[in-house]
A = this chain, B = another copy of it.
Amino acid sequence: MAENNKKFVEQITSMDEDFAKWYTDIVKKADLIDYSSVKGCMIIRPYGYAIWENIQKILDTRFKETGVENVYMPMFIPESLLTKEKEHVEGFAPEVAWVTHGGSERLAERLCVRPTSETLFCEHFANVVKSYRDLPKNYNQWCSVVRWEKTTRPFLRSREFLWQEGHTVHRTAKEAEERTIKMLNIYADFFENDLGMPVIRGQKTEKEKFAGAKATYTVEALMHDGKALQGGTSHNFGTGFAEAFNIQFLDNDNTLKYCHETSWGVSTRIIGGIIMTHGDDSGLVLPPAVAPIQVVVIPVQQHKAGVLDAASKIYETLKAAGIRAKLDDSDQSPGWKFSEYEMKGVPLRIEIGPRDIADNKCVIVRRDNREKSFVSIDNLIEEVNAGLDNLIKALHEKALANRENRTYTAHTLEELIKIANENSGYIKAMWCGDRECEEKLKEEADVTSRCIPFGHGPIGDKCVCCGREAHKLVYWGKAY
């Protein structure tokens, strides 16, 4: 048993030694992905895809509860359509893949594979929105998009990735802003409560906002290594796209008006974020809400009379209670199995052997802290539910403590540079709002503005960079 255990665990790099290598070890060893022969395009394997399916189910339900409807837009955008909104095309054209031939024929106009679908939705909205009665349209699609990135990493930055993109059109500016914030809050709640990932909600600076947006809001998470991850974004376009694409409606005062538009999205990056927030040197640690297997049942001394029966009964009880359970009665040793499901981040492990059966008990082991409880079989479901609840709370607490430990405050440029050189995390500092200062911080301290957080008061009145008057508190950091 010890030997098996060792063999397995040795295959992954320690996170303190080399966080990047630890990360790629996990995505491979936990069977999340495989590489394909196209650089930067990954194969999402069953275990990885099942996590995504669980993310989809939760979010899709919550979107629909707010009146969102799913649609499907083509994956191709004609070059002339992509270039209709100027800021937008400047943001995306450098990194799109171009289709130039269909079969053996050269196309009259080349098509890009969607990097995002604002232009397609706009064109459609212009077709179907005529009157205020047609508003709002709250649309979403689950699809893959392509961005021809130079440097790629599984889940975090790949040339093709899966996401959802919501696109809505509204009658008033107020309604659009409300939708933008509503979706941001759905994302934030999902990160906090379902994934145990504390996030900062805030607004992006002009420099960091989405190409073509009036305002971009974001939820920012901090990874174990102190680097930030943009978890999801929600954009208010105002009437910018509507003007470029002529999306007008006849209002009830009989005048033609431009629609107010939003878009919002999260992607398979989330899976990378889960790994880097909760994982440890034994592998993944999955939040129960998205874990493909929430509880694995492992019989100990399974050749002994009654063990497999008892294990199987536990498994059936879990399944009947709606818990995603797996019974591993393969001929591998218990030790091998322990390592395997630790690597896969299964939240709870139940061990059951001859002695436990005699006592009408089993052992529940939590993945995050390895805490063992001997529980009565009669209270199995209660104990399992409590274990899952405690685990997600503990994950959140641990991640929050990490963020708090890694949040710094700077009042001068020197201070900020020193902190950025010596630590990894968020640096809170006041900013005057000038792009030049933002660029200077990037140059001198290698940090970018993560967001202007909601509801955090000022911590001074001078810009950390130029010393002029400043009203905006910014979270600065290095990001994935």
Contacts and interface: CB of A to CB of B under 8 A. Distances in A.
Nearest to A68: B46
Nearest to A146: B75
Contact of A124 (B36, B101, B124): B36
A160 B74 contact: yes
A436 B210 CA distance: 60
B72 A44 contact: yes
Q: Give how many copies assemble into the complex.
A: 2
A34 interface: yes
Given A46-B69, A50-B69, A148-B102, A38 B95 contact: no
Contacts of A124: 34, 36, 43
A363 to B, nearest CB: 28
A233 B36 CA distance: 27
A50 to B, nearest CB: 7
A98 interface: yes
A36 B123 contact: yes
Given A34-B124, A113-B113, A72 B98 contact: no
Contact of A99 (B37, B98, B144): B98
Nearest to A70: B49
A41 interface: yes
Contacts of A123: 36-37
A431 interface: no
A72 B50 CA distance: 10
A427 interface: no
B97 A71 contact: no
Closest 7 CB pairs between A and B?
A: A41-B74, A102-B148, A46-B69, A44-B72, A98-B101, A100-B100, A103-B148
Given A99-B100, A102-B159, 12 more contacts: A38-B74, A38-B77, A38-B111, A44-B72, A49-B69, A50-B69, A50-B70, A52-B72, A75-B160, A76-B160, A95-B102, A96-B102
